[in-house]
Amino acid sequence: MTALKIAVLMGAASLALGVAGAAWADDQPAPGAAAPAAPAGPTALSTPAMSASLSNNSNPYAIDTGPLGKIYVSGQLTGLAYTEDNPGFGDTDRSKAEISNAQVEIQKTDGVVQFYVQAGYYNFPSLGAGNVSTQKITENTYKAVPVAFLKLQPTAELSVQIGKLPTLIGAEYTFTFENLNIARGLLWNQEPAVSKGVQVNYAKGPLTVSVSVNDGYYSNRYSTISGLVSYVLSPKDTLAFAASGNTDKVSVARFATPLAQNNGTIWNLLWTHTEGPWVINPYLQYSTTPRIDKFGLTGSASTFGGAVLARYTVNSVFNVAGRAEYISSSGSNVALLYGPKSDAWSLTLTPTFQFKTFFVRGEVSYTKIESGAPGAMFGKFGDKSDQARAMIETGVLF
């Protein structure tokens, strides 16, 4: 057994003994993200949304434009490095360093007319998948402006957003700096990340409702309906339900638009609990893909998975986050995971240090394919059933 795998399994054992987690979101949620690890200043921005591992700059740069109000400018400059055994499909490098974020956000956060623009280069490594360069990720997914929308806020309770929007689905955000862990998880691999469309939000008291008409997995076909309902049960507990489904048959298939998932449905049930230094977020996910013979989808399929994400705050500058998850697929003709009727699980441990706008964090993860098809798993020939990975990310959130 390699030294990397031993180190990863030791971290996974620590996770199994008690570390797992996530948080809650702002008005632009993936339902599972949460409040910052340390209290933010009065002018801290709620977008981009952040989980409980890293915190936005509590005093972002502001430009007073007079009658138009304040325009805020923030951003991220971060890099990551990794080493792994049994690289995933299309990943020929066992070790590599990359810029993970070189982004800037410009936004107006008050008044009836607001806006948000996020631009730059980015990467979003995920477990069980090949690592792709930052340039290729940016060019082949959401381009140099991954998120941008106009927001109309006629009342305190009601708002409408139009543009390129973060998904309402899942418990993890898209970009590394937003999340508890550096790499996204196995369940995230089935979810949309950014969609173009219109979203209506309503929030009053403990209830928040968002409904969107969009292009699903970035297909440019506006036939998907998504929704999120969350309810604050108590100061410590929030329950949420999210769902998304395509109302039409869409033939688009590219890097950011998986054909089967884009034509299917996906459902989440999420619970977030905060208790002292702990934030714990278990959630369930179910997805379906249809049979569409003319698109080469010769059978229907589905996935079912569950995950627990958590964060433990040691002190104001250090916390430890973790994730444990399992996912399986059904259907004999469509490979949604590692071949038809495959299943896998993973463990991830991520200690994080942040002082003001500077942070550094490490990560160890282990992914195990319990059943998979030869040629569709890990390694050069797709015949390896597990993968250990170690990562480090550092930079500034300005």
Q: Is the pLDDT of residue 38 over 90?
A: no
Distance CA 362, CA 381 (A): 29
The pLDDT tens digits of the residues spanning 92-127 come to: 678 999 999 999 999 999 999 999 999 999 999 999
The boundaries of the domain holding residue 301 are 3-397
Q: Are 95 and 82 in contact (CB under 8 A)?
A: yes
- Tell me the average pLDDT across 189-201: 98
Q: What is the bridge-based pairing of β-strands 301-315 and 237-246? A: unpaired
Q: What percent of the chain has pLDDT over 70?
A: 88
The pLDDT tens digits of the residues spanning 278-296 come to: 999 999 999 999 999 999 9
Pick the closest to residue 279 from 171, 361, 168, 125 (CA basis). 171
Tokens of residue 333, six digits:
């003709």
Distance CA 229, CA 242 (A): 6
Q: Is the pLDDT of residue 45 over 90?
A: no
- Tell me the average pLDDT across 192-208: 98
pLDDT range class, residue 52, cuts 50, 70, 90: confident
**Average pLDDT of the chain to the nearest whole number:** 90
Compute the Cα dihedral for 36, 41, 46, 49 and give only its sign: negative
73: domain CATH number is 2.40.160.10
This prediction's pTM: 0.89
pLDDT range class, residue 4, cuts 50, 70, 90: very low
> Structural domain tally of the chain?
1
pLDDT range class, residue 12, cuts 50, 70, 90: very low
Tokens of residue 151, six digits:
């927001």
